Structures are given as C-alpha cells and as structure tokens.
C-alpha cells in the first residue's frame, strides 16, 4: 500500500513537469523584486503571486498532457519524455480531477492576491486583474484541449510571450507598486522572449510528429531552418532588451548577473549543429536555466543594491 501511494505521488510529480516550473517563477520573482527596488513591496503579495503562477503552470502541464494524448499527438513516435497519460500512469478521469483541483488552488491564491493587490484602487482595476486571472486559467486549459486548441494553430508562442513575460512581470509589479513604469516592459520582454525560446525548442524537437498529428505549431510552419533562425531572434533580442534595461535604467546596480546572457552563445551553437531531435531536449532545459538565471540574477542584484 505504501509503495502504491509512493508511485501515485511520483506519477503526479511527473505529470506536473517540475522542470518547467522555473519559467513560472522567473517573471513573478523579477516583477516583485523590481517593485521592491522602486520602493514598494508586500511579502504576502509576493507569496500569493508565486503560488498562483505555479498552480497555473501545473494546470497548463496537466491540460497539455490530457489534450495531446486525447488528440493522438502523444504517441510512440514522440521524441520527448513520455507523458503521464501516454505511459498509463494517470487515467483521463484522474487527470481531469487534477485539473479541477489546480483551478481551485489557483483561485484560492489568486482571488486573495487580487483583493490585496488592488485594495485602495478603483473597482475597475480589481475586476481587470480578476478577469486576467480567469483568462490565464482559460489559456492554460485550451492550449491543447478542445476543437480550437490554440496550440494546434501556431498561437502558443504568442500566449507564452504574453503570460510568462508581459503579464507575469508587469502584472506582479503593478500589484505591488500600484502603477506601471514603462521601463519594466524591457525585462518583461526579455523573460517573455526567453520563455518562447523554451517552447520553440520543444516544438523543433517534436516538429515531425506534431506535423503528422495535425498539430501545426509555428515550428511546423517555419520548417527546421526557419525555426533555428527564429530561435536566434528570440534569444538575441531578449538579450538586447536585458542589456538595454540595465545600462539605460539601472546602470548603478551590479552588472555581473548579465553574464548569464553569455550562456546564449553555446546554446545557439548547439542548436545550429544538432543532428538528432533528441539533442534538443537538453537545449530546452538550457533555455529554462538561462531564463531563471537572468531573472534571479537581476533580482539579487537589485536587492544587493538596496542593502548597500
């Protein structure tokens, strides 16, 4: 019995895809620490925003597992790690239950977050953030679920850029600072572009199987060469905005965190020279690491500057 419970827990941890969670953390940490640097910070808002982002990311992962399996995209020809439903570890009914629980948990932290973050502001702002949260839940579910799943129409990149970059950074910043500063859009854009770079590596790896299954990702539309060029644009443009933000808006803080951007060079080199799609799984994890390292490095540099 003990072993059965242990295997069930392992199955759910596997389905949650823990290696993707740093992406959910990156934008939230950066947004909150930027707000602290500019003078306003509530620890409870920080914790609630982190929890909400994590539950939404896990919901997205579970929904992606369910959607791709039911559409036949997750099959024996798929190159990436086997999914939970594909491997028989979790049933469709259990996966649906898990998704409902994630929605309830996201609402359980998200609603108090909106109430706390928009107190003393007009009702429209509170309603806007509540609707934004509900849109985040819908985006997590309908990426691969439903007849009009947007992930199957090449729109996944846009939604990842918006929710992992722009919404995560500027949204969490606004809930702390109560207004938006234009310069915050630069690190938000960097984190958003790096996050799209993670998805692009996933889609380049799975391109052949996705095409056969009718999942028309942007990688399928662009082809191998176009997708590699696209990856260069994503990573180098993200690095440019990160550098621009530092040297134009916060030149006085420690700049060593920018060395995390150097990792982009070997990453792009490996993308150009890869021979087998399996090799891209390592590059996917590498871009997750670059994104997290940039976000944490920026945050710690901002905190160190305040403590000096």
Alpha-carbon distance values, 12 to 5, 253, 284 (Å): 11, 41, 22
219 and 203 Cβ atoms separated by less than 8 Å: yes
Nearest CA among 111, 287, 275 for reference residue 190 = 287
85 contact partners, CB below 8 Å, separation of at least 6: 15, 65, 66, 69, 74, 91, 92, 95
Say what the pTM is.
0.94
Q: What is the pLDDT of residue 307?
A: 62
* Alpha carbons 292 and 290: distance in angstroms, whole number: 6
DSSP 122: -
Distance CA 73, CA 220 (A): 14
CA distance 267 to 292: 15
Q: What is each CA distance from 149 to 63, 71, 73, 144, 297, in whole angstroms? A: 11, 10, 13, 5, 35
How far is CA 297 from its chain centroid? 17
pLDDT (tens digit, 9 = 90+) per residue, 225-263? 999 999 999 999 999 999 999 999 999 898 899 999 999
End-to-end CA distance of the chain: give it in Å, rounded: 54
For residue range 259-305, what is the model confidence (pLDDT) as tens digits? 999 999 999 999 999 989 899 999 999 999 999 999 999 999 999 88
Tokens of 158: 């846009």
- Answer yes or no: are the C-beta atoms of 227 and 203 closer than 8 Å: yes
Torsions phi, psi of 175, nearest 5? -65, -25
Model confidence over 30-81: pLDDT tens digits? 999 999 999 999 999 999 999 999 999 999 999 988 888 887 776 666 666 6
Distance CA 222, CA 201 (A): 13
Q: What is the pLDDT of residue 5?
A: 56
């Amino acid at each position: 019995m003990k072993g059965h419970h242990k295997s069930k827990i392992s199955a759910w941890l596997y389905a949650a895809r823990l290696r993707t969670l740093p992406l959910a953390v990156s934008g939230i940490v950066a947004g909150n620490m930027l707000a602290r640097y500019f003078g306003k910070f509530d620890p409870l808002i920080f914790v609630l925003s982190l929890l909400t982002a994590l539950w939404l990311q896990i919901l997205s992962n579970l929904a992606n597992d369910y959607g791709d399996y039911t559409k036949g995209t997750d099959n024996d020809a798929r190159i990436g790690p086997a999914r939970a439903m594909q491997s028989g570890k979790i049933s469709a009914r259990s996966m649906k239950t898990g998704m409902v629980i994630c929605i309830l948990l996201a609402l359980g932290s998200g609603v108090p977050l909106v109430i706390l973050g928009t107190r003393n502001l007009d009702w429209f702002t509170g309603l806007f953030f509540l609707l934004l949260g509900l849109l985040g839940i819908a985006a997590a579910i309908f990426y691969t679920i439903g007849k009009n799943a947007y992930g199957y129409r090449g729109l996944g990149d846009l939604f990842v850029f918006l929710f992992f970059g722009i919404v995560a950074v500027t949204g969490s910043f606004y809930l702390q600072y109560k207004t938006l500063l234009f310069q915050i859009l630069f690190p938000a854009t960097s984190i958003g572009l790096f996050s799209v770079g993670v998805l692009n590596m996933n889609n380049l790896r799975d391109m052949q199987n996705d095409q056969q299954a009718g999942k028309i990702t942007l990688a399928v539309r662009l082809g191998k060469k176009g997708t590699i060029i696209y990856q260069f644009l994503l990573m180098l443009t993200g690095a440019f905005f990160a550098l621009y933000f530092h040297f134009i808006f916060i030149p006085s803080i420690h700049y060593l965190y920018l060395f995390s951007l150097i990792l982009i060079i070997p990453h792009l080199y490996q993308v150009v020279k890869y021979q087998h799609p399996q090799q891209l799984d390592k590059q996917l994890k590498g871009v997750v690491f670059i994104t997290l390292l940039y976000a944490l490095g920026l945050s710690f540099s901002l905190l160190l500057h305040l403590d000096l």
